[in-house]
Amino acid sequence: MLLKPQSRIQVMEGAKHNLPDRAALKAANAIRDLAEGLTAGDLLLVLISGGGSALLPAPIPPVTLEEKETITRLLASKGATIHELNTIRKALSLLKGGGLARAAYPAQVLSLILSDVIGDPLDIIASGPTVASSHSTQDCFHILTRYNMLDTLPQSVQTVLSGSATGHNTPKDYSHVFNVVIGSNRLALEEARCQAEELGYLTLVLSDAVCGEVSTVARLYSLLIQLICLSTARGARTDLLKDKVEAALSGLEAQLAIPGLNCTHALKALQESQAGRPVCLLAGGETTVQLRGSGKGGRNQELALRVALELHRAKSTEAGSFLEKYEIMFLSGGTDGQDGPTEAAGAFSSQELVREAEQEGFNVETFLSNNDSYTFFTEFQKGRHLLMTGLTGTNVMDVHAILIRAKGG
Ligand SMILES: Nc1ncnc2c1ncn2[C@@H]1O[C@H](COP(=O)(O)OP(=O)(O)OP(=O)(O)O)[C@@H](O)[C@H]1O
Ligand SMILES: O=C(O)[C@H](O)CO
């Protein structure tokens, strides 16, 4: 950040690699001192974005920074969700879980929040420094029990957790605080919808809460695409095919339980629209990847490659034969411009990609079995399918886009 010499803005950097460190601790202490020095006539303006938890470490003594970092890293390695992680982080922090707002009292606090968590839960985004915590000490002990960590907690953590039942988590008056979400996946999808419609696409937003294992989500998208390609076909045989695909799609919808996702409604809306227009389906959220290989990639690149493989496999089925009549593109990208430990934001694919790859000697399944989507997209057609945006400086999770257009349309 280039500041003028006389600037009153102080930049304090820390938490490299998204892990709390001494530099971040120093910054958190400086922020806390500033907040505690405010009076009723002051306004504290706070900008909160994803990654904020690591940037604002303020462990409640006697918990040390190292102990707090160890407990959160262990929880993450055991597969704890961001909700579980941040519930523990809040309980062990002077600033998270509304602590910054309490420190600033009686000053007014205006918090502008960029959400990188599905559902935009204010007290979970960056562990909610200006939001009253909705969690109790009991919740913390349930989480630590779930991950078999209760018996190995440092004494300091046990002291703070048992003491916080009467202290830091007690509901406080937050009437001096105003929290507002100014950026979210839903807002990003709405903007994408406007752009797609300006380009002539009939556009639908499916959900801003896509979650679940990447291979299952890929299968759901493939079935949805098949159903859309079948929708204009007529006849008893195709009706049977539609029923079969629809049943498989409903099963996956139930399995994933993505909030707000209703593919039947989406299809009905498409059918009631002007037939023949190209279609754009948008969705957002964060899938999860069970890493079994040693390759390089990210959930967005893996999703794009898995969708391509699902569509390729579908083409050899009767329902999938209708895909030939359409041009289909799928894109998945991280809005922060980074997908996993790669410099790509994501990738795009089509129903022809696997066939084209095989013609050039690439076996997509081999790359996927090694979680090596980045290597595939880098080597295949000189990286033409990679989405390279550079770091965007913000993060409202991932965006998925499906484009379907009748060939010759
Ligand atoms: N080789 C790989 N193939 C597929 N996915 C991978 C691979 N390596 C890491 N990942 C996934 O990438 C995810 C990390 O992505 P990333 O670094 O973009 O962080 P993030 O979850 O988006 O966090 P933040 O919100 O801070 O950006 C992990 O959840 C992991 O599952
Ligand atoms: O910083 C964090 O806690 C995560 O990015 C979720 O907001």
Q: What is the pLDDT of residues 181-235, one digit of tens each?
A: 999 999 999 999 999 999 999 999 999 999 999 999 999 999 999 999 998 778 8
Helices (H), 47-184: 52-55, 65-77, 82-91, 99-104, 137-146, 155-163
Summarised one tens digit per residue, pLDDT across range 310-348 is 999 999 998 878 899 999 999 999 999 999 999 999 999
**How far does residue 278's CA lie from ligand 2's centre (Å)?**
37
Residue 50, ligand 2, Cβ within 6 A? yes
Q: For position 264, what pLDDT does the model report?
A: 87
Q: Write the CB contacts of 304 (distance below 8 Å, at least 6 apart in sequence).
A: 330, 331, 332, 346, 347, 348, 349, 373, 377, 385
Residue 396, ligand 2, Cβ within 6 A? no
Q: For position 46, what pLDDT does the model report?
A: 98
Percent with pLDDT over 70 in the chain: 97
Assigned token pair, 255? 């399995």
ipTM rounded to 2 decimals: 0.95
**How far does residue 54's CA lie from ligand 1's centre (Å)?**
16
Ligand 2 atom showing the smallest separation from residue 51 Cα: 1
Beta bridge partners of 334: 398
Shortest-distance ligand to the CA of residue 293: 1
Residue 369, ligand 1, Cβ within 6 A? no
Q: For position 165, what pLDDT does the model report?
A: 43
Residue with tokens 């960056």: 126
Contacts 24+ apart (CB under 8 A), 57-60: 57/15, 57/20, 57/24, 57/25, 57/28, 57/93, 58/25, 58/28, 58/29, 58/32, 58/93, 58/94, 58/95, 58/96, 58/99, 59/92, 59/93, 59/94, 60/92, 60/93, 60/94, 60/160, 60/164, 60/168
CA 154 to chain CA mean position, Å: 31
Beta bridge partners of 136: none
Q: For position 1, what pLDDT does the model report?
A: 63
Positions in the chain whose pLDDT score sits under 70? 1, 164-171, 273-274, 409
Shortest-distance ligand to the CA of residue 371: 1
Predicted TM-score of the model (pTM)? 0.92
Strands 108-114 and 43-48: parallel
Ligand 2 atom showing the smallest separation from residue 115 Cα: 7
What is residue 350's three-state secondary structure?
strand
Ligand 2 atom showing the smallest separation from residue 86 Cα: 3
Q: Which of 127, 217, 289 to mutate to test the pocket of ligand 1 (most atoms within 8 A of CB)?
A: 289
Distance CA 212, CA 271 (A): 28
DSSP letter at 323? G
**How far does residue 362's CA lie from ligand 2's centre (Å)?**
37
Residue 125, ligand 2, Cβ within 6 A? yes
Q: Which amino acid is at 29?
A: N
**How far does residue 283's CA lie from ligand 2's centre (Å)?**
21
Distance CA 47, CA 292 (A): 37
